[in-house]
Amino acid sequence: MTEKYELDERAQLLLRQLINSYTRDGQPVGSKNLAELSGLDVSSATIRNIMAKLEDMGLVDSPHTSAGRIPTQAGYRFFIDSLLQVDNLEVSAQQVISNSFGSDKTSSDLIHGASDILSRVTHLAGIVSLTHTAPAEVRHLEFIKLSDRRVLVILVINKDDVHNKVIPVDRDYSELELHQAAQTLSRYLVGRSFESARKTLQQELSELRSDVNSIMETMLNAMQEVCDLSIHGDLMTSGESNLLQYAELTEINKLRSLFNVFNEKTDLLKLLDGCTSANGVEIFIGSESGYSVLSDCSIIGAPYHIKGEIVGVLGVIGPTRIAYEQVIPVVDITAKLLTSALNTRK
């Protein structure tokens, strides 16, 4: 719950100007600069007194003696909850985002592409989770023979979610054998929930003594991995290298820990899951995420839906000095456009 602060108009204006300046330059802001930025007809001494009060309240901090001040996590939270004026998204940015959700794309393409468009428009790291989908229903499967005892599995799940997976096999199978295996599996799986059909099929495979028995077992295991991903979710990320432009995130140990979070994904999935109850955009500033490695970062996320059900969350990760007024509408409109595109897939 946000702590309540009583700030007069001058203090609010100075805090807003300090945050805007620090967001832009990443440097502590001195009283003289604040006087020029704010346009207030007051002395530097008056501004210093106001800033001292803001520091006593925990809204700003002085990282070095006489080097100006920077906003604290509490300062950012007060700014977002009480002072933030969200910008209208530029028409050009709206067009770029809208064009990324073309009608020719599959649901899988749309979801995977959302993290990329977020990173390109915001110049931050884009993240998209896929967490609460319906049970995987197999629509089509096909096996294609490759060289060196490898087979390409083509699997279509839930209308148009296409997955390709190359798997090794124990011997060279002919195209006819692969076709027969695909036909046999299709009779059991296509049009049904994969999980329920798999149990029935595995029981019968144990009694089946055909030449394609082993290939079907191998294929089932490969398909299980794909369907588990569809059921339990995944995390798509783009533009992690954008974070290298922020000096406060580039200390080597901090950077290593941050990129480990992206690689392991589990913590980010749990964090984004906390946005599924949001009525729109949710913002975690620094330690609000609950993860010490993200203490210098902010996460802005919003859920997206299919048929009224939340199936994931998209958003961005950046330093706490994100330009919130610009990034929030990007995340908001991307979630709405992704929801619209997913619900108009045939």
Taking the C-alpha atoms of residue 332 and residue 338, their distance in angstroms, rounded to an integer, is: 10
**The one-letter amino acid at 10:** R
- Of the two residues 196 and 80, the one the predictor is more confident about is 80
Q: Which domains does the chain have, with CATH numbers?
A: 9-83 (1.10.10.10), 91-133+233-342 (3.30.450.40), 138-231 (3.30.390)
Mean pLDDT of the chain: 85
* Contact predicate 319/335, CB 8 Å: no
Please tell me the predicted confidence (pLDDT) of residue 209: 54
* Contact predicate 188/137, CB 8 Å: no
Taking the C-alpha atoms of residue 154 and residue 143, their distance in angstroms, rounded to an integer, is: 6
The mean per-residue pLDDT over the stretch 275-299 comes to 89
Please tell me the predicted confidence (pLDDT) of residue 77: 95
Three-class SS of residue 31?
Answer: helix
Confidence of residue 162 (pLDDT cuts 50, 70, 90): confident
The kind and range of the H/E element at 304 are strand 297-306
Q: Give residue-wise pLDDT tens across range 87-98.
A: 888 888 888 899
The mean per-residue pLDDT over the stretch 157-177 comes to 81
* Contact predicate 62/72, CB 8 Å: no
Please tell me the predicted confidence (pLDDT) of residue 220: 76
Confidence of residue 109 (pLDDT cuts 50, 70, 90): confident
Query: Which residues neighbour 26 within 8 Å (Cβ) at sequence distance 6 or greater?
Result: 246, 247, 248, 321
